[in-house]
A and B are shown apart, each in its own frame.
Chain A
């Protein structure tokens, strides 16, 4: 096995080849498949109404009503609205509170990997970039998103309107799929091209203020990924290649600045790709309190 790995490493095997060899395709894509099912399933729930008259969920990710009783509101939208100077009705407030509570538990950026439709676009761009072997480009600092988040709230305050929503590709994409696109394709396509040609994981990993907002909810997440079996790591670097936020892995996997193997960084999206792609079963999804190594 190790001989195979060594020779195949010399000819740069595809990322995840080890995992497919040891776990089979399905085993090496378990979390990815679940995640796509979650993303597409949620979209299908929203589309069942307008397409088939099956009104389970109305609205869009900005605010929705499920089964005519459960209100859900995007807390980032609500924050912009508050900054712009309105106090919405209690439906919107309750809806946002439910969403915040949920992501405080499962991890803020679970929104990014399991819900956000833009993830399909940026994952596709990242995959294509890997396959084409595109290198280089200009990557902005990962802090850009937090500054942008702050300034966007400021802009909402200054203009008295939801300023970011004029260009927000995330809500535009979801709304567009459900209510009609207009020219919003252009903006979504722009994000794809940017991620493909200019910056690896540029949008989701460095710019999107919505992702930044959700990452702020990620500090207390109960559900976390642990590099519990890190002793088995053979430095193939596949996890770094697939992770949308590769900087979160090192502290846990290489014991850099911490000694337990749990990935506590708020920007880990709990996508589980590292679990999938590791041929040596280093990672597992567990809770933040499970500091054991195995």
Chain B
């Protein structure tokens, strides 16, 4: 502050007042530019990589970045060393806590010590039941390498899920390739999946997992609110809303083989006689 004003004044230069104003403007300009740079950097670097998951109870990312003071108390109280503070170069806001599911997943502690430790509320203490945590959402992302999709019985992701049979189920499907087996497809349900990452961690594939926990925003499509599901409406109303379907003729296409695409009522005809899921085949 003083170093400039200490100099003797009145030697033909601009008046001290003018000089002070000019200097202040320069300093303010420099500081403003620097702040602008930092602000812009903060803005553009704040996109979280898809593999970085926030601890349970973390506020929405923008609120989280405003609240978290980067103290690491959550990291310290995590008994499984799941959480770590981002280092410069990790691609995550420096000093903020995150975890990588493929490395160490969240074990879903019942008492949620990470949330209890957070002094700022960046991890919201409103989260009392770890089952309500939404750290991300698991997605069976690769249908080509998942062993269950290949018709094998791996099931590991399903078996390790702490919310087994709710967050993840095995859906039975006909295996058209062998035509005599089932495929049990691991299927995640967003109503229950906490995004703990146990499934991704334990996927047996050697490098990348076929099932991955992604940020919910990436993993989930928006609901088609305008689309009313007939079966739900029917259940709610206790009956079909449009009454008995009237059969309309498909005019002009009567002679064509593709003319009528409706499936006839009655049992479906199997692709080949004596094959398929219900063929009674036993190994």
Which chain A residues lie closer than 8 Å to B48 at the CB level?
Answer: none
Q: Are A151 and B34 in contact (CB under 8 A)?
A: yes
How many angstroms from the CA of A162 to the CA of B26 in the assembled complex?
Answer: 25
CB closest residue in chain B, given A185: B88
Q: Are A73 and B69 in contact (CB under 8 A)?
A: yes
Which chain B residues lie closer than 8 Å to A71 at the CB level?
Answer: 119
Nearest chain A CB to B45 CB, angstrom units: 7
Q: Is B75 an interface residue (CB 8 A)?
A: yes
Within residues 173 to 205 of chain A, which ones have a CB less than 8 A from any CB in chain B?
175-176, 178-184, 186-187
CB closest residue in chain A, given B43: A159
Which chain A residues lie closer than 8 Å to B65 at the CB level?
Answer: 84, 160-162
Could you say which of A140, A154, A181, A250 contacts B27, with CB atoms under 8 Å apart? A140
Q: Is B85 an interface residue (CB 8 A)?
A: yes
Could you say which of A87, A141, A158, A165 contacts B95, with CB atoms under 8 Å apart? A165
CB closest residue in chain B, given A77: B69
Stretch at the interface among A9-17, A100-108, A142-150, A270-278: A142-150
Nearest chain B CB to A258 CB, angstrom units: 13
CB closest residue in chain B, given A166: B42
How many angstroms from the CA of A284 to the CA of B80 in the assembled complex?
Answer: 51
Q: Is B87 an interface residue (CB 8 A)?
A: yes
Q: Are A155 and B42 in contact (CB under 8 A)?
A: yes
Q: Is B127 an interface residue (CB 8 A)?
A: no
Q: Are B30 and A140 in contact (CB under 8 A)?
A: yes
How many angstroms from the CA of A167 to the CA of B40 in the assembled complex?
Answer: 12
CB closest residue in chain B, given A142: B1
Q: Are B31 and A151 in contact (CB under 8 A)?
A: yes
Q: How many chain A residues touch B (Cβ–Cβ < 8 Å)?
A: 63
Nearest chain A CB to B166 CB, angstrom units: 32
Could you say which of A63, A74, A161 contacts B62, with CB atoms under 8 Å apart? A161
Which chain B residues lie closer than 8 Å to A163 at the CB level?
Answer: 35, 38-39, 42
Which chain B residues lie closer than 8 Å to A155 at the CB level?
Answer: 35-36, 38-39, 42
Given A154-B35, A181-B87, also A166-B93 (CB < 8 A): yes
Q: Are A184 and B66 in contact (CB under 8 A)?
A: no
Stretch at the interface among A24-32, A54-62, A124-132, A235-243: A54-62
Q: Are A167 and B38 in contact (CB under 8 A)?
A: yes
Q: List 29 A-B contacts (CB under 8 A).
A: A59-B71, A62-B69, A63-B69, A64-B73, A73-B71, A81-B67, A86-B67, A89-B120, A140-B30, A147-B31, A151-B35, A152-B35, A152-B38, A155-B39, A159-B42, A159-B46, A161-B62, A161-B93, A163-B35, A164-B38, A166-B42, A172-B88, A175-B70, A175-B72, A175-B95, A179-B84, A180-B84, A182-B89, A183-B89
Top 10 nearest A-B pairs (CB, nearest first) are A182-B87, A151-B35, A63-B71, A147-B31, A84-B66, A161-B65, A91-B119, A155-B39, A88-B120, A183-B89
